[in-house]
Structure 1
């Protein structure tokens, strides 16, 4: 926490005025709830569209061989190269390296080969998965490829897949691609991928924005056990046990566990067919490692213990690099050596692609280098983060009404270490120990955390609530006490809690706290990209001459704010303010977000962000920069998760706050966020982008969330088509409008 006298004088004249806000009481809004990255699951088992091949020596060539249960895929297309992927599985030779052949042809009949590589080896140490970089290709050309495995004199061949290289630099051609995210497998079906196959779009590539797999086997807080789709670890003893009793589940931990996630998800016929048809450009988000993670730190325990998990992170990265067709180090031609690809803390999956004259694509990595969430999950609600001196400096230049707001008694604090408050401190320590042990901490751990948190400047707003519940005569009068900002004023209501730390944070006080932290730390508190990625990001944008510069971000840049200040039917004053719904995404780094977007608006023309993670569809203009957010392929919609959270917090579906936050969620977000042009918080799907010289068209293809548990692969095509709607928006002149 910040204390008087630290740091240089602050200059906040450039910041927008804060709106008056009141602190959040301990029972306000939400109780703790799980979200596991606020998204959910999905998949669809269905008949696949194939590109039949002709090979007299192969087993059933049209259906593919049972030795290739995950089929095949391609990725990272460039004008002269592409990465192709396959995994071979022979249970009779599970421990052996296996020989493979790769054929690449410009024609579907393979009569002409541009590559016939007969010396490939699928190594047991990499789960018999192989990535091959094929070079020397022609720009903007469709190629067909297949792998084969010979056993006992018989040749076994994959299905035939196709891929496409990028246009050459400077080519004046339009580009069409899809972006999508979040495809949890458990209990759900990949109807969105099936719909994309039905559309048969002539795509250059598919961007997948993260959460390709989910690391848990059945977290009941967001994963459905129904529908017959599940993930089971072949080595459950290597996994992390989570929950108890009926809510127990496993989280991937060992390399075997993480491999099982990819092996299971890639058995889905719809997903296989999409990979067989289009090259993918893929980035990870959190669930490829662990929910709401940052660097190599997990968040399951919500601050109850240190969750730095270096080995687990490395296992997650190895499985990702083995199973995803990407090239992290610009490899030469041939099999990519997965063992040589950089790993945490030197991970390097950020990269850029050029598609002719009109598109530069920058794929960023939001998770590997970012700092922790600004409000710790174990933060003591009473802890003061801006004392009187820092708060006063931060409010310089603000309207008198704003300054007056922070002079209210609710912002009073005392130094609890003052001998005059010895009795109060003893009570606070006792209550802390009781709550910490009730949360599962040992006596030793509870005592250590108590000593670290229950000290120094503490906010009377929180302290007096605790004291009043134990012994009312110990309540401390706020008159004459200094004023400061505490975690409680940002919505932190309890120990070891994501409310007021990662989710449902009071916007105005959080923004103020973040801005001070940013200045005192010289930007390190919100250094999302890390120095090397930041340098690459700025240099690539500065030198790009393409018409459009599109930035891929795994998490959404659209501001998701609930503004209840003018809702007369919400009578609780602690709710009548603005809340960020999630600060695990870019809303959690508001200063960095503002600085970055303002610089892009000023210096880079036609920048567009495309993002995912939040399980909702948004089109918005943030600080003058267009931003598009794709819905989840399958993971639970943000509206459904908000509903569960509010009901769990004790709010009836007819309560005003439920009506505004859930029932009317789209309308509330649109009213609360001036930059929003479109919001759909209860649908799944994907977005088709058509990049042209003078405009970009973005078409959201959406299916209601209630359809995701139904397997449309077993129904007539017309049934699925009837469930989808399409909404098209035009991106032009730094704005987004309906087309």
Structure 2
């Protein structure tokens, strides 16, 4: 059977959320398209508005996706015209045509505009009769460049607060090359489904529909609500987005064949729900859909910014993730934690967060990117990759509340501070008695230990070999420190209070596959930068493999509006800094942590360094309609090749 170009375009549009491929002026007319230069003939019969704005996304060096949604007066197909120009007055048109949209794609239209110039800014708009959309701006990826600047976002919950974060980024649009959205673009919960975020009633931002999103129309309605937000619309209109989904685009803690927030008994077949969510995602976001419908589950893809950055966007949620481990499954009836079985399952090499096909794809692309001379290899993905191990007492949930007891962190810090006093007293006494070197000589690798590790080793050596001297030193401590060690000292014993992952939903729950990725990056001397979201907090960590070698650096963004650790750990106002410093001291590879502020991240790449800046607004500012001030809370600079990390 022979298919004409016109027939192929019809098939492509029908199977890919109404994507139309357009390569020039009047470049893709078919029987459903009106002439690009003429007003649509249905304008007088069915008026249209562009309530949800315009957007662009998935830029390549020669093409970009343009998006809009037509809201018709009548539930009938309408013809939409678009124009792309090199100037804001649309005097120098480079692409114009029209296509029909209808209810089958929720009246959304996506155009893959081709034949564009690399590194070029373009202006675009949509028309229906005399109705004209706002003008959007977009750009193609450069073929050569010495600097790339990306803004990174995650976790926007409509009832949790105003999208001030998007507004601030839009004010810096002229400085940026693209927007990276790492998912949780919407949330699926019903009006009471996320108590920490709030219902939105007090700020007039209640989720629509008010019930949980399960069916296609539910997800469509939810996207329409989010895309009605003026701040989000403004950002979309100014820069191209590069998006991946996280879990809430479908359901909380999604995995390959289910989700924590899905009940087959009451909510029906998970795969039908997932298919509905994925269809709405493709309809409402400016992403390039695959030609084969079955491939829509594959969102991993690569964007090359000249030879400076290879950006590989990954899916750690849907396409290959095995079900998350759950601490509750390792607790016996007496409340004892089976650390041995848990530890074995944690490093099981059969557990996957990417799936075999995606894992092979990213490994091959990492190797190819470095071999081709690209400077930076960047992974854009959802969850934290760095090791985030904390003492079990701090993160295990309280049986009464289901959440960690914040007092446990205080108790641990109290014991740790008292032990530090003890170690300092031990070192002072050994030095005064002239026997420090004698004890140090008995400790294997003493010289290679950090000062903190040396203090611990010396203290334990004295405690084990000279109980009388240890007792004298202990008695010299302030009474409060003695009490702290007597009461909470066991918390410092790793065999009694082991360090375990704080979040099994992250890469910590899939340690073997993380190790494969990190060792590959190390072996091929990649300049690896990992971008992460999901946690609603800001982080910066070194990525260390199991051999103790530095393989990369992770920059993780805070959330647009979703609440973070301040809710999870019930951190009182004014105690944020002490909590942050406490956790930073406990997590070996962690270099920066912000526990309570909403914001976004700007990452700049040059030939010499990768720089992350975390732009934050004051705590709880998302709850007020008044525009807050943003400031750089922290800056991290990673030097090329050495991957040395400097914070300021």
What CA distance in whole angstroms lies between the structure 2 residues aligned with 1:93 and 1:677? 56
What CA distance in whole angstroms lies between the structure 1 residues aligned with 2:619 and 2:171? 19
Q: Which residue of 2 aligns with 1:274?
A: 235
What CA distance in whole angstroms lies between the structure 2 residues aligned with 1:132 and 1:303? 37
| Cα offset, 1:542, TM superposition | 1.0
Q: 1:72 aligns with which of 32, 49, 54?
A: 54
- Determine if contact 1:637/1:705 at 8 Å carries over to the other structure: no
1:731 is aligned to 2:580: no
In structure 2, do the counterparts of structure 1 residues 372 and 488 end up closer, same or farther at CA, with 3 Å as the change threshold?
farther
Of residues 193-202 and 68-77 in structure 1, the stretch that sits farther from structure 2 once superposed is: 193-202
Give the gaps of 5 or more residues in structure 1.
1-54, 59-64, 234-248, 332-339, 383-461, 467-486, 491-507, 645-652, 714-719
| Cα offset, 1:285, TM superposition | 0.4
| Cα offset, 1:633, TM superposition | 0.8
What CA distance in whole angstroms lies between the structure 1 residues aligned with 2:413 and 2:636? 30
- Determine if contact 1:621/1:735 at 8 Å carries over to the other structure: no
Q: Which residue of 2 aligns with 1:554?
A: 382
What CA distance in whole angstroms lies between the structure 2 residues aligned with 1:295 and 1:262? 23
| Cα offset, 1:489, TM superposition | 2.3
Q: Which residue of 1 aligns with 2:361?
A: 536
Q: Which residue of 1 aligns with 2:4?
A: none
In structure 2, do the counterparts of structure 1 residues 306 and 260 end up closer, same or farther at CA, with 3 Å as the change threshold?
closer
| Cα offset, 1:308, TM superposition | 5.9
- Determine if contact 1:561/1:669 at 8 Å carries over to the other structure: no
| Cα offset, 1:380, TM superposition | 6.7
| Cα offset, 1:231, TM superposition | 1.7
What CA distance in whole angstroms lies between the structure 2 residues aligned with 1:566 and 1:638? 17
Q: Which residue of 1 aligns with 2:556?
A: 629
What CA distance in whole angstroms lies between the structure 2 residues aligned with 1:303 and 1:85? 34
1:351 is aligned to 2:307: no
Q: TM-score, normalised by structure 2?
A: 0.72
Q: 1:488 aligns with which of 334, 337, 341?
A: 337
In structure 2, do the counterparts of structure 1 residues 375 and 688 end up closer, same or farther at CA, with 3 Å as the change threshold?
closer
SS of 1:196's equivalent?
A: helix
1:102 is aligned to 2:29: no
What CA distance in whole angstroms lies between the structure 2 residues aligned with 1:177 and 1:166? 12
Give the gaps of 5 or more residues in structure 2.
1-36, 41-46, 394-411, 416-483, 545-549
- Determine if contact 1:217/1:230 at 8 Å carries over to the other structure: no
What CA distance in whole angstroms lies between the structure 2 residues aligned with 1:727 and 1:566? 24
1:137 is aligned to 2:116: yes
| Cα offset, 1:113, TM superposition | 0.6
1:317 is aligned to 2:270: no
SS of 1:524's equivalent?
A: coil
SS of 2:225's equivalent?
A: helix
1:103-159: per-residue Cα shift (whole Å, max 9, x none)? Answer: 0000000011101113x1112111000111000000000000000112xxxx11100
- Determine if contact 2:173/2:238 at 8 Å carries over to the other structure: no
Q: Which residue of 2 aligns with 1:239?
A: none
SS of 1:125's equivalent?
A: helix
| Cα offset, 1:66, TM superposition | 7.1
1:322-373: per-residue Cα shift (whole Å, max 9, x none)? Answer: 01111133x6xxxxxxxx5435xx6111000100121000000101133434
| Cα offset, 1:315, TM superposition | 0.2
Q: Which residue of 2 aligns with 1:7?
A: none
Q: 2:319 aligns with which of 369, 374, 384?
A: 369
Q: Which residue of 2 aligns with 1:694?
A: 608
Q: 2:533 aligns with which of 596, 606, 612?
A: 612
1:683 is aligned to 2:592: no
- Determine if contact 1:639/1:665 at 8 Å carries over to the other structure: no
SS of 2:219's equivalent?
A: helix
| Cα offset, 1:293, TM superposition | 1.1
1:657-705: per-residue Cα shift (whole Å, max 9, x none)? Answer: x98xx77331122111121111111111111111101111111101123
Of residues 580-589 and 127-136 in structure 1, the stretch that sits farther from structure 2 once superposed is: 580-589
1:524 is aligned to 2:350: yes
| Cα offset, 1:281, TM superposition | 0.1
In structure 2, do the counterparts of structure 1 residues 158 and 172 end up closer, same or farther at CA, with 3 Å as the change threshold?
closer
Q: Which residue of 1 aligns with 2:195?
A: 221
| Cα offset, 1:641, TM superposition | 2.3
1:254 is aligned to 2:254: no
In structure 2, do the counterparts of structure 1 residues 730 and 313 end up closer, same or farther at CA, with 3 Å as the change threshold?
same
Pairs within 5 Å for 1:443-462: 462=333
SS of 2:228's equivalent?
A: coil
Determine which structure has greater relative contact order: mean sequence separation of CA pairs < 8 Å that are 6+ residues apart, divided by chain length: 1
1:640 is aligned to 2:559: no
Pairs within 5 Å for 1:372-521: 372-376=322-326, 379=329, 381-382=331-332, 462=333, 465=334, 488-490=337-339, 510-515=342-347, 518=348
SS of 1:186's equivalent?
A: helix
Q: Which residue of 1 aligns with 2:151?
A: 178
- Determine if contact 1:297/1:308 at 8 Å carries over to the other structure: no
In structure 2, do the counterparts of structure 1 residues 348 and 369 end up closer, same or farther at CA, with 3 Å as the change threshold?
closer
SS of 1:582's equivalent?
A: coil
In structure 2, do the counterparts of structure 1 residues 559 and 377 end up closer, same or farther at CA, with 3 Å as the change threshold?
closer
What CA distance in whole angstroms lies between the structure 1 residues aligned with 2:115 and 2:58? 15
In structure 2, do the counterparts of structure 1 residues 693 and 509 end up closer, same or farther at CA, with 3 Å as the change threshold?
farther
Q: 1:113 aligns with which of 70, 89, 93?
A: 93
In structure 2, do the counterparts of structure 1 residues 128 and 261 end up closer, same or farther at CA, with 3 Å as the change threshold?
same
In structure 2, do the counterparts of structure 1 residues 606 and 97 end up closer, same or farther at CA, with 3 Å as the change threshold?
same
Q: Which residue of 2 aligns with 1:297?
A: 258
What CA distance in whole angstroms lies between the structure 2 residues aligned with 1:261 and 1:373? 26
Q: Which residue of 1 aligns with 2:438?
A: none
Q: Which residue of 2 aligns with 1:603?
A: 524
What CA distance in whole angstroms lies between the structure 1 residues aligned with 2:330 and 2:611? 47
Q: Which residue of 2 aligns with 1:571?
A: 488
1:155-202: per-residue Cα shift (whole Å, max 9, x none)? Answer: 11100000010001xx14211111110101014101111111223442
Q: Which residue of 2 aligns with 1:6?
A: none
Q: Which residue of 1 aligns with 2:433?
A: none
Q: Which residue of 1 aligns with 2:138?
A: 163
Pairs within 5 Å for 1:21-32: none
In structure 2, do the counterparts of structure 1 residues 269 and 489 end up closer, same or farther at CA, with 3 Å as the change threshold?
same
